[in-house]
Structures are given as structure tokens and as C-alpha cells.
Amino acid sequence: MWNKWHKGVLSSVMIMGNVFSGSMLSTAFAQQTVQPEEAVKDEAEDLKWQLKQMEELFRKQQEQIQALKTRIEALSVEKPPVTKEEIKHEIEDYLASEEARKKMGLGMPGLTALYTPDEEKFSIVFKSPDDKYSLGIGGRLQFRYTFKDNDEDFGKRDTNNIDVRRARLSLGGNVYSKIIHYYVEIDGDSFDVGIRDFYVYWTPLEALNAKIGYFKVPFNQQRMTTSAKLLFQDRSIASEQFDQDRDYGFDIYGKPFDGYMEYHAAIFQGAGEEPEDRGTDDNLNNELMYVFNIRYNPFGKYDTVDESDLNFTEKFKASVAASVVVNPKERDEKLVDSDGILGVVELSMKYRGISWHNEIFARSDDPESGGESVESNGFFTQAGYFVIPKRLEFAARYSMFDPDEDVNDNIEREYSGGINYYFRGHRSKIQADAGHFVTEKGDDHDRNENRIRMQYQIVF
């Protein structure tokens, strides 16, 4: 009964729906047939415009979809994992930096890093709470192997040598205030123990400082550069011949104009590092030694202490300098019966792991007895490049020294190449170099020497 009633109702509804829809279609068809031709044309244009807008919207949606897909693909690309070795190198580089050493202070009360011009030589520093007293302690060792292939025509044999080239203990800090400093360096180079430096210096202003004691003569840059930060294991033959080493003296120096300029005006005993009669009358001829140095850094402060560009200088840096010495020493010995003058001109640059340094020397010595003057000259050029930033560095150098311009066949020449690898900056590194040295003798009798060296340095 129920099924019959349900089917009847459903059938009636379907019939009524068909009738209603048929009537609606008939009405719409009738209306369409009676519309004027202009109305139909306007409606077609309107539909075309709507279609165009929909197509443009669809195109933009497609572009957005593609952009989202590209972004998703970029985000889904897996980055290569950072290795433990890379993390280790980054940590070591930071710990070796002066910034880290200053910030950490080794985490102990009363123990921190301090700012003095010699602070990089200290590994540990004791400091009073008011910063008026401090004591920094540091050490450095250089272990070296050297092989020399000497010219047998001059009666010299080949040699192999293992040596402690440099063994240094540094002590320094400040006393009474933050601007009065002291420094003492003791050396045991080749197990010959002695005092290398001892001086006091004041640093009230960056543009005006003073130093008194026994220290390096501020003549040429390569000599002023610490042996811990040389591009090669030793200085060039020209620098060795003309540098003025250390002496008793007084130096006024500074870096005015935000480091764009540097200067030294100094006076020294001029008696040399190890005179035979030290302690009696070092100034044998009553003539002191005077030094004047001026430097211009056109692109701002220039790091003259480090010959390499270990810090990977991002902006190009350059430096030009000139120095003159009145009454200079010769091979660190005072010339008693001679009036002399010595000069040097320098050019340096650093940029993104590249370092280039040049020095040209000229000297004139006039005997007081009236003999002929002696003119000598020399120069060197050297360059370094980090093939792996802050790690692996290649180096090359050429140097020449002419002891007397009036004498033929006496010129000395140096050709050197080297490789340096830095474990923790200059604090732990290994250097290897090979050099060819020639002394001209004329008539195909030049004296030749080949040298291979390897050195490990640790600063602690």
C-alpha cells in the first residue's frame, strides 16, 4: 500500500516538473525570438569581454601556480650537510682571532686579554680589576729543517741541519695606568739565550706615542714585521744587508688622520745589537743614529705587521712609505770612521688573499779619512696568494744586493718560492720554501747555492 502511494506521488511530481520546465523553455525561446537584432549584438560583445577577462585571470593564476611550484622545488632541495671537519675549522679560525681572545678571557676571574701594541704575542694575561696593572705571557717556537746544496767549486759541502730557529718568551703589560706599557722578550734561538727586547712605551693618543729602551729600529717594513708573521721563513737578502736591527733609543711615533698616515722620528745609540765592548763606551765616535719614517695609506689603515693577507682583506688596501737613516750601521755594526746615509722606499698592497710588498734600498758611506765613498743598493719584491682562503698560501720572491756599485761581479741574487699552510693562523702553521742564491764572480765562476727548508711554528 505504502509503495503504491509513494510511487504515485513521485510520478505526479515528475510530471508537474516536466510541464513547468517545458513552459519555461517555451517562454525563454519566445522571448529570445522577439529580441531585436541590436540587443543580441550587445549581449555577444558583453560575453566576449567576460570571456577575455576570464582568460586573463586564468593566465595569471597559471603564472602564480608555476611560481609556487618553483619555490616549493627550491625549498625542497636538500642542502649538503656541513661536515665535522668544516665546523672544526670554523671554530679554530674564530678561537685563533684576537676578537675571540679578548671576549673569552679564558673564563677566569682577573684573567683576560688586553689591548697593547704587543698583545698578539701573549696567550695569557693577568689583569687587576681597575685595569691599571697587567702581565701578559706568551711563547713562540720555530722548529726548522734546512738542506743546502752548495757549489763544490768553492770548497763547500752539502749540509743537513735541524734547529730551533727561534725560541722566544714574551712578557708585557701595563703599569700605573692604561697608557703606560712595558715589554720584555727573551730568546733562546739555537740555544743561545739572551734578552731580545726591553722597553717602555706610552700610548696616550693614536696620533702621538713614545717608546724608550732597546727595540727594533723603525727603518724598513720587513724588519719591523715580527718573524712570526713573515711570508717566508726569513727576510730577503736585501733586507738582511740593509736593516738596522735593534738598538738603544727613543722613538716618537703615531698614526694620525684615522690611520691614513704613520710616522716615526727616532734617535739611537747606533752601536749595534751586540757590540764587543757593551757596558763600557758603546758610542765609539760620539755620533748618534737618527731615523725618520713616513707612511701613507690611501685607503685607510694598513696592516704592516703581517706580510700575508691572512685576514682576507675584502676592500683593496695599499701603502707607500719612505725612511732615511743618518749614521746607519752596517750588518748591525757601527762604522767608526765613516759618515753615511741610508734610505728605503716601499710599496705594498693587499686584497682578498693577495699580498704584494716591495722595498728599494740605497746607501752612501763617506770615509772621514778622505777616501772614496762607497755606494750600495738593493731591492726585493715578493707576493703571496691564498689558493684556499686562510689555509693554503703560495709565495714567491726575488731579491738583489749590490754591495759596491763601483765593483763588478759582486752582485748577490735570490730566487725563492714557498708554500704555507695555516692550522690556526700564525699561531700554528707550517712553511716550506726553496731558494736559489747566486753571487756573481765573472768569467762563468758564479757561486751558486740551493736551499730547501721546512719550518713549523707554534705560538702559545
CA dihedral 60, 65, 70, 76 (to 10 degrees): 160
Q: What is the pLDDT at residue 443?
A: 66
The domains located in the chain, with CATH, are 206-459 (2.40.160.10)
% of the chain exceeding 90 in pLDDT: 53
Which residues are paired to 428 by β-bridges?
458
Q: What is the pLDDT at residue 33?
A: 47
Distance CA 281, CA 40 (A): 124
pLDDT at 10 over 50: no
Confidence of residue 112 (pLDDT cuts 50, 70, 90): very low
| 193 Cβ contact partners less than 8 Å away, ≥ 6 residues apart | 186, 187
Distance CA 210, CA 17 (A): 111
Mean pLDDT of the chain: 82
pLDDT at 199 over 90: yes
Confidence of residue 188 (pLDDT cuts 50, 70, 90): confident
Mean pLDDT of 111-116: 37
Mean pLDDT of 405-422: 93
According to DSSP, the β-strands at 428-439 and 447-459 are antiparallel
pLDDT at 3 over 90: no
Q: List pLDDT tens digits, range 358-384.
A: 999 999 998 877 778 899 999 999 999
The DSSP 8-state label assigned to residue 78 in this structure reads: P
Among the listed ranges 192-196, 243-247, 322-326, which one has the minimum average pLDDT value? Answer: 192-196
Q: List pLDDT tens digits, range 64-106.
A: 888 877 877 776 655 566 666 667 666 666 655 655 655 554 4
Q: List pLDDT tens digits, range 377-388.
A: 999 999 999 999
C-alpha count within 13 angstroms, C-beta hemisphere, residue 34: 6
* Cα 443 → chain centroid: 45
Confidence of residue 447 (pLDDT cuts 50, 70, 90): confident
% of the chain exceeding 70 in pLDDT: 77
Q: What is the pLDDT at residue 194?
A: 85
pLDDT at 254 over 60: yes
Q: List pLDDT tens digits, range 126-178.
A: 888 888 999 999 999 999 999 998 876 566 788 899 999 999 999 999 999 98
Q: What is the pLDDT at residue 390?
A: 93
Distance CA 104, CA 122 (A): 14
pLDDT at 451 over 80: yes
pLDDT at 39 over 90: no
Confidence of residue 318 (pLDDT cuts 50, 70, 90): very high
Mean pLDDT of 44-64: 81
Q: Please, is 428 exposed, middle or buried when counting C-beta atoms within 10 Å of its C-beta (0-12, 13-18, 19+)?
A: middle
Q: What is the pLDDT at residue 78?
A: 56
Q: Which amino acid is at 240?
A: E
| DSSP result, 315-371 | S-EEEEEEEEEES--BTTB--TTEEEEEEEEEEEEEETTEEEEEEEEEEEEEETTS-
Q: Which residue has the higher pLDDT, 422 or 85?
A: 422
Q: What is the pLDDT at residue 67?
A: 82
**Residue 403: which of 371, 374, 370 has the closest Cα?**
374
**Residue 177: which of 234, 130, 125, 246 has the closest Cα?**
130
Q: What is the pLDDT at residue 441?
A: 77
**Residue 381: which of 410, 414, 409, 350 has the closest Cα?**
414
pLDDT at 350 over 90: yes
Q: List pLDDT tens digits, range 265-308.
A: 999 998 866 544 444 445 666 789 999 999 999 999 999 999 99
Confidence of residue 26 (pLDDT cuts 50, 70, 90): very low
Instruction: For residue 407, count other CB atoms closer than 10 A to its CB.
Output: 11
Confidence of residue 327 (pLDDT cuts 50, 70, 90): very high
